[in-house]
């Protein structure tokens, strides 16, 4: 029996021992949003599962503020020794990086892996008088006074609200909060009239005996499995393309190739692990692994989106 256990242990250790570099201390994982946000929730789930592969503690370091700029500035200026990695949100990261005087640039990060892809939604309180997306738009046009909470100025959910409002041809007042968690709390407390967020952010708030939110529409080319009764915006004549967020793991530039290889290969194993896949399904998170090349292409595409589309919305 001891021989069998020893053989199994050695077999599990071999893949990690094959790397030229491995972390020698706890790893700091930067999340540019507060605890309880969508990004934070997904990051904590993934990192808790990844620890058994890494063999070190992966410490989530929440650095919220300035729509993500505080955390991402800390990430790109971190020592590139492999002991600091972090999450970015697309298109927020590329949108902020494109701003004049931005404290970071796309070239300051190295892609490791895409983690989640989340489709956007338009939501109101569950007891709202607006039963359909058309009801909301009609009232917005009639009064011109509706308020929407966002996760920060020009952040992803603000862009979603702009895409919706511009395509539906109505004006509204955007109220920025510190992140998605605060943004949705404001909606639930009646401080605003509607919000735009992501499927995973609102899923648990739309079910149960006393749901707090109602999804009126989704940003996709077809209805989502999570909210089959909610039309796409395109169905009712508004924004007709997919829109949402990619939540991805990156490293500060300057890391040695063997360090990047370690994180790329390790996260590939982590996200392919059946226990990790099952944990994400149970949590209602859309695990969407993309390797460094595919993620790099996505980041480039989001740079173009920020330049050619988002720049026209504000």
* SS3 assignment, position 46: helix
Name 195's bridge partners: 123, 149
pTM: 0.82
Q: What's the CATH superfamily of 119-236?
A: Periplasmic binding protein-like II (3.40.190.10)
Supply the mean pLDDT for the chain: 92
154: left (phi over 0), alpha (psi -120 to 50) or beta: left
Q: Where are the alpha helices (DSSP H) in the chain?
A: 2-17, 38-54, 69-76, 92-97, 133-143, 156-168, 180-188, 199-202, 257-272, 274-283, 292-308
pLDDT tens digits, one per residue of 242-259: 999 999 999 999 999 999
Cβ pair 89, 78 in contact under 8 A: no
**CATH class of the domain whose range is 24-117+245-312:** alpha beta
Q: Do domains 24-117+245-312 and 119-236 have the same CATH topology?
A: yes
Degrees (nearest 5) of the Cα angle 213, 179, 183?
Answer: 30
pLDDT tens digits, one per residue of 81-125: 999 999 999 999 999 999 999 999 999 999 999 999 999 999 999
**Cα(33)–Cα(142) distance, integer angstroms:** 35
**Cα(53)–Cα(12) distance, integer angstroms:** 9
DSSP label at residue 98: T
Q: Which two tokens stand for residue 288?
A: 């969407």
pLDDT tens digits, one per residue of 234-246: 999 999 999 999 9
Give pLDDT, residue 17.
52
pLDDT band at 8 (very low <50, low <70, confident <90, very high): very low
Contacting residues for 151 by C-beta, under 8 A, at least 6 apart: 33, 37, 67, 157, 158, 176, 177, 178, 179, 180, 182, 183, 197
* SS3 assignment, position 53: helix
pLDDT over 70 for what percent of the chain? 95
- E strand or H helix that includes residue 185: helix 180-188
- The full set of domain ranges for the chain reads 24-117+245-312, 119-236
Per DSSP bridges, beta strands 287-290 and 109-125 are antiparallel
Name 251's bridge partners: 110
Average pLDDT over residues 175-197: 95
């Amino acid at each position: 029996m001891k021989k069998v256990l020893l053989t199994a242990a050695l077999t599990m250790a071999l893949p990690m021992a094959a790397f030229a570099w491995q972390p020698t201390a706890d790893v700091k994982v930067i999340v540019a949003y507060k605890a309880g946000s969508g990004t934070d929730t997904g990051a904590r789930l993934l990192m808790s599962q990844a620890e058994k592969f890494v063999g070190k503690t992966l410490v989530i370091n929440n650095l919220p503020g300035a729509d993500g700029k505080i955390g991402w500035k800390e990430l790109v200026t971190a020592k590139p020794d492999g002991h600091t990695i972090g999450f970015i949100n697309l298109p927020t990261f590329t949108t902020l990086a494109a701003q004049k005087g931005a404290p970071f640039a796309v070239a300051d990060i190295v892609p490791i892996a895409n983690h989640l892809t989340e489709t956007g939604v338009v939501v109101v309180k569950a007891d709202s008088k607006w039963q359909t997306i058309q009801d909301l738009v009609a009232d917005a046009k009639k009064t011109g006074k509706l308020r929407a909470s966002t996760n920060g100025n020009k952040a992803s959910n603000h862009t979603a609200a702009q895409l919706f409002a511009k395509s539906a041809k109505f004006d509204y007042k955007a109220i920025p909060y510190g992140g998605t968690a605060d943004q949705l709390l404001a909606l639930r407390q009646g401080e605003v009239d509607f919000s735009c967020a992501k499927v995973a952010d609102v899923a648990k708030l739309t079910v149960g005996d006393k749901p707090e939110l109602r999804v009126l529409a989704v940003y996709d080319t077809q209805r989502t499995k999570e909210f089959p009764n909610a039309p796409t915006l395109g169905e009712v004549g508004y924004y007709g393309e997919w829109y949402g967020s990619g939540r991805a793991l990156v490293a500060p530039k300057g890391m040695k190739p063997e360090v990047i290889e370690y994180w790329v290969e390790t996260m590939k194993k982590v996200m392919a692990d059946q226990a990790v896949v099952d944990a994400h399904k149970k949590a209602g998170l859309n695990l969407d692994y993309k390797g460094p090349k595919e993620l790099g292409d996505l980041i480039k595409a989001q740079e173009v989106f920020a330049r050619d589309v988002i720049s026209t919305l504000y």
